[in-house]
């Protein structure tokens, strides 16, 4: 079977032969390296990763792929990253990349020291405090220190080694090792790290406060938070609230007696009151409207994290009553709904009505409402009971459509359709989408296609009603201004039948700034799951060399991953992915 697939792919690639050979992106080469590793060839995988590091830039996924290599080859990849300057300026604005390289180095004292010394290098402009690069350098050093600390739990002796490498000038960056420092207490943290600075307290200070709370030192965490500027102080208190809530839930699972249980509940209540009181005492940061709204948003989230849903809804109502126009109320409402969706125990129709009533009074510009209403209605509809769902479908939806009469009332039906699909009423959802398509056949709506696609995938719509899914997906393609995001998770969830249907309909999506993103989204999922049918359809649908090569590179990865290395190498060579790099050493 694979030989037929390979021959067919090579014929399609021949259609688009150009004078310039196709070139693969760094992301595509990294995915190819991962497939080679999956096929049992770590040597070729390491060569590909080294080639990427020599050419640059570095994909965020590269360090995690390299971590799967045997140690000696992983060390070679890390050395290539250091030698080619990929651990200095390139990671300054991408702390996740620095963290990834730190995890790659973890376990070897030599590799850890080499990485830490490399990120400490001072590049051009980084020595000047007024400039952004000076601050960015601090963040990259902190990201590496934090990841190394995560890799060495219970080893506080590492702190002295890292401090000696950091030196006096970068001593405050040791504060990023929060998990190792917190059990030692705030006084010891002050002795080792000195005073936090304004450039980094938003990351290091918040992390330390969280870690102190996790270590059972809430009083010290509150003391540390009180030293911070208003914005990181609020963030630190929110982080503590998450910890306190988590501890309270963990305690509830291990209660062994009524007296112990009562004591634990009282402890949790005292902690909650302390954190809330500290937040209410926290400065808002200024009289600026945005600072006031940010404070109110965080206070609402804090109250919600402690289960004080009615108090959180009261704060939402206050925000909705402000006289000036702002998108803040609907964004806060979305976060409330999202958090209730993750912890639905306190959800009632009455509370959801309170939320919707508050938004009815909010001074929202129609454009701002149109951007968020589909996601909000989807979330509320899923949480609502039968009576409220009926109310939303009738009077509530009609009211919102009126508010959006000149700014895309179809967003309302798109949100309702997502909610209906999520609760198993896909036929009604299709009716809403047909209404929107018929009313505005040439319009594209500002929502990502993932909203509806994920709902269809989660309810197995492609499997139990493939014809209805094909119709729904076709309407999604016709209506969505934006294709799905980079994550392949929803495409994997669609299953082979859903992906094949989606592949046949790729040309229904309007071309945009990233015209091949939809192809790549489906192809990546197909390559990871061995879905050769979808890959074949995507190749057939290709209309130019870049699109054909994109699908072919994912096909090469699938062939390697699923046992046909010879076929994978043939396709890889034809689409700009050489099986190994002649320049790698």
pLDDT tens by residue, 70-120: 999 999 999 999 999 999 877 777 888 999 999 999 999 999 999 999 999
Q: Which two tokens stand for residue 283?
A: 């400065």
CA distance 502 to 470: 8
Distance of CA 377 to the CA centre of its chain: 22
CA distance 179 to 212: 8
CA distance 51 to 77: 9
- Measured at the CA of 506, the angle between CA 501 and CA 509, to 5 degrees, comes to 125
- 381 or 324: whose pLDDT is higher? 381
Q: Which residue in 500, 391, 479 sits closest to 435, CA to CA?
A: 479
Instruction: Indicate the pLDDT class of residue 512, thresholds 50, 70 and 90.
Output: low
| CB atoms near residue 360 (< 10 Å) | 13
The per-residue pLDDT for 580 is 54
Residue listed under structure tokens 């979305």: 334
Name which of 111-125, 247-261, 333-347 the model is least confident about. 247-261
| CB atoms near residue 29 (< 10 Å) | 23
Residue listed under structure tokens 């994997």: 492
Name which of 93-107, 334-348, 398-412, 441-455 the model is least confident about. 441-455
- 270 or 390: whose pLDDT is higher? 390
The per-residue pLDDT for 80 is 96
pLDDT at 251 over 60: no
Q: Which two tokens stand for residue 12?
A: 């399609």
| CB atoms near residue 124 (< 10 Å) | 9
CA distance 544 to 557: 20
pLDDT at 261 over 50: no
Rg (CA), the chain: 27
Mean pLDDT computed over 256-275:
58
**CA distance readout (Å), 334 to 325, 337, 345:** 17, 5, 18
Q: What is the pTM of this model?
A: 0.88
Instruction: Indicate the pLDDT class of residue 459, thresholds 50, 70 and 90.
Output: very high
The per-residue pLDDT for 258 is 39
Instruction: Indicate the pLDDT class of residue 514, thresholds 50, 70 and 90.
Output: low
**Cβ–Cβ under 8 Å, residues 236 and 228:** yes
The per-residue pLDDT for 114 is 96
Q: Which residue in 79, 70, 139, 71 sits closest to 115, CA to CA?
A: 79
Mean pLDDT computed over 49-73:
94
pLDDT in tens, 400-436: 999 999 888 999 999 999 999 999 999 999 999 999 9
Q: What is the widest separation between alpha-carbon atoms in the chain?
A: 80
pLDDT at 584 over 60: no
- 509 or 33: whose pLDDT is higher? 33
Tell me if residue 464 falls in helix, strand or coil: helix
pLDDT at 266 over 80: no
Tell me if residue 404 falls in helix, strand or coil: coil
């Amino acid at each position: 079977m694979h030989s037929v697939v390979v021959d067919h792919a090579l014929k399609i690639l021949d259609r688009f032969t150009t004078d310039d050979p196709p070139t693969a992106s760094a992301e595509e080469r990294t995915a190819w390296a991962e497939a080679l590793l999956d096929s049992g060839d770590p040597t070729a995988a390491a060569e590909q990763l080294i080639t990427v590091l020599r050419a640059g830039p570095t994909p965020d996924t590269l360090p995690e792929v390299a971590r799967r290599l045997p140690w000696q080859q992983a060390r070679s990849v890390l050395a290539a990253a250091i030698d080619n300057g990929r651990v200095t300026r390139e990671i300054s604005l991408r702390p996740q990349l620095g963290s990834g390289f730190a995890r790659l180095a973890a376990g070897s004292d030599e590799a850890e020291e080499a990485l830490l010394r490399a990120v400490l290098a001072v590049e051009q402009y980084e020595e000047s405090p007024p400039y952004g690069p000076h601050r960015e350098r601090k963040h990259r050093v902190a990201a590496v220190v934090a990841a190394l600390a995560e890799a060495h739990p219970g080893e506080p002796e590492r702190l002295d080694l890292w401090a000696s490498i950091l030196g006096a000038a970068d001593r405050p960056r040791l504060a990023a090792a929060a998990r190792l420092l917190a059990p030692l207490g705030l006084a010891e943290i002050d002795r080792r790290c000195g005073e936090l600075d304004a450039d980094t307290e938003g990351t290091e200070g918040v992390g330390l406060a969280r870690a102190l709370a996790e270590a059972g030192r809430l009083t010290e965490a509150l003391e540390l938070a009180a030293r911070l500027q208003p914005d990181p102080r609020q963030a630190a208190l929110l982080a503590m609230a998450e910890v306190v809530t988590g501890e309270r839930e963990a305690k509830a699972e291990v209660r062994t007696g009524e007296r112990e249980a009562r004591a634990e509940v009282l402890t949790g209540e005292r902690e909650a009151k302390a954190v809330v009181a500290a937040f209410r005492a926290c400065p808002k940061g200024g009289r600026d409207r945005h600072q006031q709204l940010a404070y109110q948003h965080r206070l609402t989230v804090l109250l919600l994290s402690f289960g004080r849903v009615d108090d959180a809804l009261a704060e939402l109502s206050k925000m909705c009553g402000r006289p000036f126009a702002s998108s803040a109320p609907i964004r806060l409402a979305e976060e409330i709904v999202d958090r209730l969706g993750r912890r639905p125990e306190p959800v009632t129709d009455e509370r959801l009505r309170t939320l919707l009533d508050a938004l009815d009074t909010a001074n929202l510009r129609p454009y701002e409402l149109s951007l968020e209403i589909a996601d909000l209605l989807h979330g509320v509809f899923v949480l609502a009971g039968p009576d409220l769902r009926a109310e939303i479908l009738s009077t509530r939806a009609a009211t919102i459509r009126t508010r959006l009469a000149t700014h895309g009332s179809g967003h309302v039906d798109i949100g309702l359709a997502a909610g209906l699909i999520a609760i198993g009423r896909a036929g009604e959802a299709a009716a809403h989408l047909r209404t929107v398509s018929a009313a505005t056949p040439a319009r594209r709506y500002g929502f990502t296609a993932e909203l509806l696609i994920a709902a269809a995938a989660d309810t197995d719509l492609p499997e139990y009603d493939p014809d209805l899914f094909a119709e729904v997906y076709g309407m999604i393609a016709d209506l969505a201004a934006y294709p799905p995001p980079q994550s392949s998770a929803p495409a994997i969830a669609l299953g082979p039948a859903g992906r094949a249907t989606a592949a046949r309909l790729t040309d229904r999506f309007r071309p945009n700034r990233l015209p091949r993103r939809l192809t790549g989204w489906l192809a990546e999922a197909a390559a990871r799951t061995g879905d050769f049918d979808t890959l074949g359809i995507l190749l057939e649908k290709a209309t130019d060399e870049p699109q054909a090569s994109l699908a072919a590179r994912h096909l090469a990865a699938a062939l390697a991953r699923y046992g046909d290395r010879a076929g994978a190498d043939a396709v890889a060579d034809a689409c700009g992915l050489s099986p190994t790099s002649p320049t790698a050493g």
